[in-house]
Amino acid sequence: MKTKWEYYKINEEKIKDIQEKYNVNSLLATILANREIQDIKKYLEPTRHDFHNPYQMPDMEKAVERILKAIENKEKIIIFGDYDVDGITSITVLKSFFKDLGVEVDEYIPNRLNEGYGLNKEAIKIIAEQGHNLMITVDCGITGIEEIEYAKSLGIETIVTDHHEPGEKLPNAIAVVDCKRKDNKYPFRELAGVGVAFKLCQAISQKLNLDEKQYLKYLDIVALGTISDIVPLKDENRVITKLGLMLIKQTKNCGLISLLNLAGYRKIDSTAISFGVAPRINACGRMGHANEALDLLLCGNMREASEKARNIAKYNNDRQEYEKIIYEDAIKQIEKNHLEDENSIVLGGDDWHHGVVGIVASKITDLYYKPCLLVCYKDGEDIGKGSGRSIAGFDLHEALTECKDVLEGFGGHSMAVGLSIKRENLPKLKVKFEEYAKTADLKGIYPTINIDCNINIDNINKEIVESLSLLEPLGEGNKMPIFAFKNLKIDSIRSLTEGKHLRLILKSNNNTYINVIGFNLGYMVDDFVIGDKVDVVGCLEINSFNGTDSVQINLKDIMKSI
């Protein structure tokens, strides 16, 4: 696939100033300059004093007062949360915090496969029948206007804590704590759902004059949810995740320890959370077993936690198997119908697993760099459920708005959507969606690789690469730095894992050698031969093998030198 290489504009004066003022090497100073970090000291060394005042959040005072009243009157409280990592960690934090206060609360997580996302009336009816007086939503609720009104009619008052965009109207709740509200005055609006739940714990602690550790001790779980939810790791999210990762390294949460042991990462950082822990928890929700993930994170016995973690690993294996089947089926359809030549990809499949199609849609979007909609139909059912993923510059939600007359329903945002559609209308959706995609001229859009600077491999050593760990946690809004390495000679080239990955050894003019690994780039192996001069872009990392550490490039793209 053709890619576009874009370089940051280097500001030598700014780099030198950062290098001297904060005592960092020139490479780290270059990255900090490129990222335009405003408060570099806070970025590099955030502390617990860098949290914003929780009472600046909309309706926080009302929420705290109503919760304390419920505790005083011994009312029955329930937490309603989402089935993904953000929702599950939100419930974990709030439920644990209340337990420490001597208050037992219940929880409800909707089944993704049967109930879908967010509040629903059937669940609220069950909650009312159980005698709950107060419902606190986490990571959902901001658009549940009808459901919250229904809850009110059954004698349930609601406190909404959410981080999603509200609609034109706010729900009629006791309090709506969401920094995306139009009247928001909180200085940071990009918290994850678990971040908002954490701020509620902070606010209650302050009101009760509790020690800071009463809420700070949950930062390991808050960091887990924040990193997993792909919110920008800036401002307060960086404080949460930087401090939280420190706590994860010495966590006492038996469930988290078990998941980390299963993941097997040598280094505990944002990568270990994103690729080792989060998929295992998310798999529970995708396969319809979210409560088991919650039970794991609330488990206080190491032996029990290890057993629960192994069960969760099985769900993740199932998820991977379903994902492989759907992906292979989708690729066959694409190749058979030559959809790679179209502006968009819309596919349907019988007995595709609804909890997995979103992951596959994301993979297909990455592979072909086109917006993709995948719809799954159960045998004998007329209405299918689907997920969509998009590329930069194409608003998926806007596109589906133009196709709404053939849809049963849809929701989401510019980059990801969920939808439902009758089987008979899927061909109509393909036509309408492709017509809309044509107007966007997607064939002129290519994935962009943002490059921090050129590096001479003769000047690279282990210490310089290790210094980049100060940038952790890396993720959305704080991307891993990417560098260009030019005019290197291929000394060795081969594919790995049945042609899936690419392995090279490159050599500079001064005979400095460096290993390169290109994950999922094995198809490029026939484009180059030993002796070719190439330019490559990628990330620098330490590869540990057989007790030996060496610097290597994690390849993102390669082309012949001009």
Helix (H) or strand (E) holding 373: strand 372-377
Q: Domains in the chain, start-ordered, CATH in brackets?
A: 4-42+449-560 (2.40.50.460), 50-248 (3.90.1640.30), 252-318 (no CATH), 338-444 (3.10.310.30)
Tens digit of pLDDT for each residue in 445-499? 788 999 999 999 999 999 999 999 999 999 989 999 999 999 999 999 999 999 9
The residues facing 79 across adjacent strands are 107, 136
pLDDT of residue 5: 95
pLDDT of residue 196: 98
pLDDT of residue 214: 95
Give the residue ranges of the chain where pLDDT is below 70.
1, 443-444
Judge contact between 248 and 263, C-beta under 8 A: no
pLDDT of residue 459: 93
Maximum distance among all Cα pairs of the chain, rounded to whole angstroms: 78
Sequential DSSP letters for 183-194: T---S-----HH
pLDDT of residue 501: 96
pLDDT of residue 1: 65
Helix (H) or strand (E) holding 147: helix 145-153
Helix runs in 374-518, H state only: 396-402, 426-439, 462-467
Tens digit of pLDDT for each residue in 48-65? 999 999 999 999 999 999
pLDDT of residue 379: 78
pLDDT of residue 546: 78
> How would you class 47 by CB atoms within 10 Å of its CB: exposed for 0-12, middle for 13-18, buried for 19 or more?
exposed
pTM: 0.90
Mapped onto helix, strand or coil, the DSSP state of residue 201 is helix
